[in-house]
Chain A
Amino acid sequence: MSTLPSQNRAYDDDDDSPVDELDELLVAYLDGELDEQQRRDLEDRLILDDALRQRLGGLQHGWELLDHLPQASVTGDFAQTTVEMIAATQSRTLAITGRQYRWKQYAWLGALLTSIALCSAVGWFFPKALDELQFRRQLADLPLAEHLDAYLLEVDLGTMVKLSKEERWQRAMQLAADAGGIVVPVSLELGQRDKSQQIDVLGRMDRDAQSKLSANWGRLNALSEDRKQAVQNRYDEVRSLDHPGDVLKTMQQYASWWNQLSPESMNRIFMAKDDERIETILQIVERSSLLWVQNYANTLGETDRTLMYERLRLMARDRIDQAEVIIDEAKAQGLSLGNEQRRWFVGPERLLERIAYFALWNFDQQAKRGGNPQPNAGGNSPPPGPPPAESGQVDAGRGDAGRGDAGRPGASGSDVRKSLQDRIGQLLFSPPSSEELAAVEQVMSNKALAILGARTNSEQSRQDILWRWCAETIVQTSPRRDSAEVILDRYESLGEEYRDSLDLKSPDKIFDELQDPRLRP
């Protein structure tokens, strides 16, 4: 009986194992990839060498067996369902036919078409003139619908005109656009186009824009007659200004920004005296700018995120190396760390996670207190499983990592050991120093650097924001390496109450939560 393949032989991990040169030559021959000379040489050898012919035959026969695989056949409507599926998932409508395309593009006219169809069905006659009249009315309303939020703003138009000329406002809005702070849709300028141009623009709109326009048109028609008239009046007023485009843009920006404001800020603007209102708005928008910059961590580009994380990982690796040197020196003096401290020596990724989660916890605490970040201030405890900072001995300040008094002459044995632990803890877990953050900055894109510098008026605030970005980046980029078994063990080790609350969540959320480094032992 012929030899069977070994059950233990792995065929799926041998891509890098050496290949027999002769097999490679024979395969290339069978694949027609040899040049004329190589092919002739091999054929000469094949004529003379029976074993070689056998070898070639084996390779060829195995290949030919692949012909016995049945032809794949798809279900009858595969092509149609594929195109439909794509059409359904794309924001841009597929042009299945020119007519269907137009119909889909004019989805916002659905209400009108539906009513026409309904009326036709019950035998009503719609004169073409009426149809045309309704269509014209709808088109006439579109410029109002496009910027409805701006025209609905309850703010003095003079304030908007002044604001549109304020450099501080424009700077803040530019930052908002760059950092994704607010989203202002691109104006289609429907008000400045004639009917045929409007139809043309509508035909080229993507589905999201269509939906938004359609929704706004619905909102406009749901307004009371007085309110609708007010919108029309505001529209006419803006059109009569010297630079209507600039003012309208400012109104759009203001409307988007307004929705982000706290009730207190809204109230401050309402209550400000007329001559102080612009300054009040500018002060508040500059505070918003700071938040946009801080939150830019969540919209950092993939390249920035990857490079920053890699640089931080090097930093962590370097800290671990330094700590190991200190420990070796201490060992030479007969000192060693306790069991608890040995657990600090995890890989650079885990170390980064610990530092980052602790930092984010600090930022949260700071936000709640409304003050400066002060780890462990106020007697609160950090999240479970963080570094020795939980003992309250790690200085949150940057740039002093690694200093300590281990080995200080005159100290007692336990003091020296404690000092060594503090020194190692501080070296490993303190926030990045100025130099470490400068190294991170070196790999960041110009856009990210520009946003970082846009609202930071001191080196300290620049570093604070950059550290926040780093912490967010670490948390979002850290590889998740826990095995299923570890995750399940962790789940089982949780308290019953916590488990009950977890069970109510979706599997993805449960998985995410169980991977949270704060739950790690």
Chain B
Amino acid sequence: MRYQQLDPDVRLMLRVRDDDEGNAAAAFEEIVRRYQNRLVRLMEHLGPRRDLAEDLAQETLLRVFRARKNYQPGAKFSTWLFTIAGNVARNAIRTQGRRRELAEVDSPGSPSGSQAAVLEGIAVERSGLMPARQVEGEERAEMVRQAIQNLGERQRMALMLSKFEGMSYIEIAEAMDLSTKAVKSLLSRARVNLKELLGPYIDQERSSADSDEPVDEEA
């Protein structure tokens, strides 16, 4: 059985490509529905700004549609889609970078600022000044988000594909046009960097978990 007969996304994309029975739009809309949340999440972390995530996801889908006639079902559809997404995000970062360079604006809190400093600020505030306070909910998410933003472009991409898309090293290598060895190194660096960036928080959570345990038992 050919691969595309197994992968429903590939089958949908083939219908888009071949305009099967005039249902290209319906098939493409189904692809959009399947991937919209995943693409937007990817773009929130890969793109230059979170508020551009939906626009970049749409740009990715537009490129997929434009390239439909050349689509060859040689790999998983998601691999192809995320390759395009990576390119779109990279271009957006470059464009934003150029604009920033020209405008020479480095507004506080913008991605061009020192995100390591922002992250450190959060870490100090949370773990240093308010040691007893647990970082929770949106604050915790923001901290993790900042940590991801501090990773290099390629590390971020590899991390997102591995963690959230569950892609293997081989699939990530294909999506990013790298060797599997390079992917292995990227992910190692990403994990080590994350550990360092989130170190204070990890320690805090661990110690908090340790101190909670007896209380729970007494309770």
Q: Which residues of A contact B (CB under 8 A)?
A: 1-15, 17, 19-20, 23-24, 27-28, 30-31, 33, 58-59, 61-63, 65-66, 68-75, 78-83, 85-87, 89-90, 94-98, 101, 483-485, 487, 511
Q: Contacts A33-B168, A65-B144; is A27 near B188 (CB within 8 Å)? A: yes
CB distance from A31 to the nearest CB of B (A): 6
Shortest CB–CB separation between residue B160 and chain A, in angstroms? 9
B23 and A63 contacting across the interface, CB-CB below 8 Å: no
11 A-B pairs, CB-CB below 8 angstroms?
A: A11-B152, A23-B188, A27-B188, A30-B191, A65-B198, A74-B57, A79-B29, A83-B29, A97-B25, A484-B101, A485-B104
Contact of B195 among A7, A59, A79 (CB under 8 A): A59
The minimal Cβ–Cβ distance linking B98 to chain A, given in whole angstroms, is 9
CB distance from A371 to the nearest CB of B (A): 42
In the complex, the chain B residue whose C-beta lies closest to that of A81 is B58
Interface hits, B174-219 → A, CB 8 Å? 184-189, 191-206
When distances are taken between beta carbons in the complex, the residues of chain A under 8 Å from B120 are 4-5, 7
Specify which chain B residues have a CB less than 8 angstroms from the CB of A97 in the assembled complex.
22, 25-26
Chain A residues, Cβ within 8 Å of B201: 65
Q: In the complex, which residues of chain A have a beta carbon less than 8 angstroms from the beta carbon of B185?
A: 15, 19, 24
Given contacts A5-B119, A7-B114, A484-B103, 20 further A-B contacts (CB under 8 A): A1-B131, A4-B123, A10-B116, A11-B150, A14-B193, A19-B192, A23-B191, A28-B188, A58-B199, A61-B205, A73-B37, A74-B37, A78-B36, A79-B29, A79-B33, A79-B36, A80-B29, A82-B36, A83-B28, A83-B29
- Residues of A within 8 Å of B155, CB to CB, are 11, 15
A194 to B131 CA separation, bound complex (whole angstroms): 84
Shortest beta-carbon distance from B118 to chain A in Å? 10
Q: Flag if B187 contacts A74 (CB, 8 Å).
A: no
Contact of B40 among A5, A31, A72, A484 (CB under 8 A): A72
From B25, B140, B194, A95 is in contact (CB under 8 Å) with: B25
B32 adjacent to chain A (CB < 8 Å): yes
Mask of B147-177 contacts with A, CB within 8 angstroms, 1/0: 1101111110001001110001100000000
CA distance A294 to B195 in the complex (A): 60
Q: Which residues on the A side are within 8 Å of B127 (C-beta)?
A: 1-2, 4
Cross-chain contact B25 with A71 (CB below 8 angstroms): no
* Nearest neighbor of B140 in chain A, beta-carbon distance: A68
- Closest approach, in angstroms, between the C-beta of A30 and any C-beta of chain B? 8
CB atoms of B188 and A86 under 8 A apart: no
Distance in angstroms between the alpha carbons of A174 and B143 in the assembled complex: 64
* Cβ contacts under 8 Å, B154 to chain A: 15
Which B residues between 55 and 70 are near A, CB-CB below 8 angstroms?
Answer: 57-58, 61-62, 65-66
Residues of A within 8 A of B8 (CB): none
Q: Would you call B28 and A94 a contact (CB within 8 A)? A: yes
The answer to whether residues A90 and B65 also contact, given A74-B40, A95-B19 and a CB cut-off of 8 A, is yes
A63-B163, A96-B25, A511-B102 in contact; A79/B32 too (CB < 8 A)?
yes
Asked if residues B62 and A89 are in contact (CB atoms below 8 Å), the reply is yes
Asked if residues A11 and B195 are in contact (CB atoms below 8 Å), the reply is no
Contacts of B202 in A (CB 8 A): 2, 58, 61-62, 65
Q: Output the least CB separation between A334 and chain B (Å).
A: 45
* B187 and A27 contacting across the interface, CB-CB below 8 Å: yes
Task: Look across to chain B and name the residue whose beta carbon is closest to the beta carbon of A80.
Answer: B29
Within the complex, which residue of A69, A78, A484 is in contact with B102, where a contact is CB–CB below 8 Å?
A484
Could you count the A-B residue pairs with CB atoms below 8 Å apart for me: how many are there?
195
Given contacts A2-B203, A33-B184, A59-B192, contact A11 B151 (CB under 8 A): yes
Question: Does A31 contact B169, Cβ atoms closer than 8 Å?
Answer: yes
A63 and B184 form a contact (CB under 8 A)? no
Q: Which residues of A contact B94 (CB under 8 A)?
A: none
Contact A71 B102 (CB under 8 A): no
Is there contact, CB below 8 Å, between A86 and B28?
yes
Binding site for A on B (CB under 8 A): 19, 22-26, 28-29, 32-33, 36-38, 40-41, 44, 53-54, 57-58, 61-62, 65-66, 101-104, 114, 116-117, 119-120, 123-124, 127-128, 131, 138, 140-141, 144-145, 147-148, 150-155, 159, 162-164, 168-169, 184-189, 191-206
Please tell me which one of the listed residues A7, A79, A511 contacts residue B116 in the complex, with CB atoms under 8 A apart: A7
- Nearest-neighbour CB distance to chain A for B159, whole angstroms, equals 8
- Chain A nearest Cβ from B19, distance in angstroms: 6
Interchain CA distance A308-B195 in the complex, whole Å: 48
- By the criterion CB–CB under 8 Å, are A15 and B145 in contact? no
| Contact with B194, one of A14, A63, A71 (Cβ below 8 angstroms) | A63
Q: Which residue of A lies closest to B155 (CB)?
A: A15
A296 CA to B9 CA in the complex, in Å?
A: 42
Q: Pick the most buried of B44, B163, B192: most chain A CB atoms within 10 A of its CB.
A: B192
Q: Is the CB of A1 within 8 A of B200?
A: yes
Nearest-Cβ distance from residue A61 to partner chain B, whole angstroms:
5
A372 to B205, CA, bound (A): 80
Q: How far is the CA of A405 from the CA of B71 in the complex (A)?
A: 63
Minimum Cβ distance to chain B for residue A503 (Å)? 16
Whether the Cβ atoms of A83 and B32 lie closer than 8 Å is: yes
CB of B169 within 8 A of CB of A33, answer yes
B residues near A13, Cβ cutoff 8 Å:
152
Q: Are B26 and A58 in contact (CB under 8 A)?
A: no
Q: Across the interface, do A15 and B186 meet the contact criterion of CB distance under 8 Å?
A: yes
B197–A5 touching, CB < 8 Å: yes
Cα distance A344–B60 in the bound complex, in angstroms: 45
Which of A5, A86, A96, A485 is within 8 Å of B65, CB to CB? A86
With contact pairs A72-B40, A78-B36, A82-B58 given, residues A12 and B150 touching in the complex (Cβ less than 8 Å): yes
Whole-angstrom distance between the Cβ of B216 and the nearest chain A Cβ: 20
Min CB distance B14 to A, Å, is: 15
Could you tell me if B189 and A17 are in contact, using CB atoms closer than 8 angstroms? yes
Residues of A within 8 A of B124 (CB): 4
Question: Is the Cβ of B162 less than 8 Å from the Cβ of A487?
Answer: no
Measured between alpha carbons, how far is A87 from B147 in the docked complex, in Å?
A: 38
**Which residue in chain B gives the minimum CB-CB distance to A66?**
B163
Question: For B102, what are the chain A residues with a Cβ–Cβ distance below 8 Å?
Answer: 484, 487, 511
Is B145 in contact with A4, judged by CB distance below 8 angstroms?
Answer: no
Q: How far is the CB of A60 from chain B (nearest CB, A)?
A: 9
A5 touches B58 (CB 8 A): no
- The residue in chain A whose Cβ has the minimal distance to the Cβ of B198 is A62
With both chains docked as a complex, state the minimum distance between the C-beta of B170 and any C-beta of chain A, in angstroms.
9
- Specify which chain B residues have a CB less than 8 angstroms from the CB of A85 in the assembled complex: 58, 62
What separation, in Å, do the CA atoms of A483 and B103 have in the docked complex? 11
Q: How far is the CB of A349 from chain B (nearest CB, A)?
A: 18
Chain B residues lying within 8 Å of A487, measured Cβ to Cβ, are 102
